[in-house]
């Protein structure tokens, strides 16, 4: 039981790891013994976060714009220069777009759906061999970061975001059934209100937001790190294709 949540000797790649939920997860993994690689589009921010998290353990910056096939390949190649195998992939990089139905633009659809839904599939596909190599010893893990907006509807007009996250939850199920044959366990996390640049309402109006949450508060870093560690560790080996909702009870209250 002492090793149930350990990540000792494991390596993890967290996309969108320079800030927000990605950073929360990337900060939690080294404390459990993992070597962590973070990727983000902005190199300066990625490097700065990696330097800060290095105080907790090994954390390496691999800047890349994975919204394009070229960026995905660049990230895969960069990771391969450091590690021969990948134990844990966290598909967290994402985008949002809010606009009324009448004026919602195609670019707001394509940008969000491509990064939130298409990229997790093709990045996982591109990293299949390193994942399978790691899975020869014990299950490798793929954790997709979805959202409660893919489960229930909120008042905001974020059409492409909600659709992409709902799609990611279903994609998680489909990928899980295929990849478990290679001892690669796929699951997802659906966060609720956590303070981040993407969720500025929770960040800038935490007390007001907390009034709408049954738990009476917004999520904190340890809530997200704990959920990711559970799924990434031996404790989550039998969680195949499921989405772990981490929202303080919001989806049950809507």
Cα(167)–Cα(110) distance, integer angstroms = 14
- Residue at token pair 């031996």: 234
What's phi and psi for 106, nearest 5 deg?
A: -65, -35
Q: What is the DSSP string of 55-109?
A: TTS-EEE----TTSHHHHHHHHHHHHTT-S--SEEEE---------TTT--HHHH
Q: Which of 37, 159, 161, 230 is catalytic?
A: 161
CA contacts within 13 A on the Cβ side of 188: 29
> Contact at 8 Å (CB) between 237 and 179?
no
Cα(181)–Cα(202) distance, integer angstroms = 39
Residue 159 is a catalytic residue: no
> Contact at 8 Å (CB) between 53 and 95?
no
Chain-centroid distance, C-alpha 178: 20
Show the tokens assigned to 79.
């990771």
> Contact at 8 Å (CB) between 13 and 89?
yes
* Virtual torsion, Cα 107, 113, 116, 122, nearest 10 deg: -110
Cα(145)–Cα(164) distance, integer angstroms = 11
| Residues known to be catalytic | 161
């Amino acid at each position: 039981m002492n090793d149930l949540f350990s990540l000792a000797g494991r390596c993890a790649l967290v996309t969108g790891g320079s800030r927000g939920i990605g950073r929360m997860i990337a900060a939690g993994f080294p404390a459990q013994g993992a070597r962590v690689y973070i990727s983000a589009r902005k190199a300066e921010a990625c490097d700065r976060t990696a330097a800060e998290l290095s105080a907790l353990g090994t954390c390496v910056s691999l800047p890349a714009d994975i919204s394009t096939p070229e960026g995905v390949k660049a990230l895969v190649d960069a990771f391969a220069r450091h590690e021969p195998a990948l134990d844990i992939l966290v598909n967290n990089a994402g985008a949002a777009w809010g606009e009324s139905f009448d004026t919602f633009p195609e670019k707001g659809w394509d940008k969000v759906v491509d990064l939130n839904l298409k990229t997790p599939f093709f990045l996982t596909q591109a990293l299949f061999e390193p994942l399978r190599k790691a899975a020869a010893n014990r299950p490798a893990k793929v954790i997709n970061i979805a959202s409660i907006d893919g489960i229930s509807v909120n008042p905001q007009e974020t059409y492409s975001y909600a659709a992409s996250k709902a799609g990611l939850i279903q994609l998680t199920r489909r990928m899980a059934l295929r990849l478990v044959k290679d001892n690669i366990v796929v699951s997802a996390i659906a966060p609720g209100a956590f303070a981040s640049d993407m969720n500025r309402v929770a960040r800038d109006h935490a007390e007001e937001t907390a009034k709408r949450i049954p738990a009476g508060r917004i999520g904190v870093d340890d809530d997200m790190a704990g959920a990711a560690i559970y799924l990434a560790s031996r404790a989550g080996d039998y969680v195949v294709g499921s989405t772990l909702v981490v929202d303080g009870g919001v989806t049950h209250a809507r």
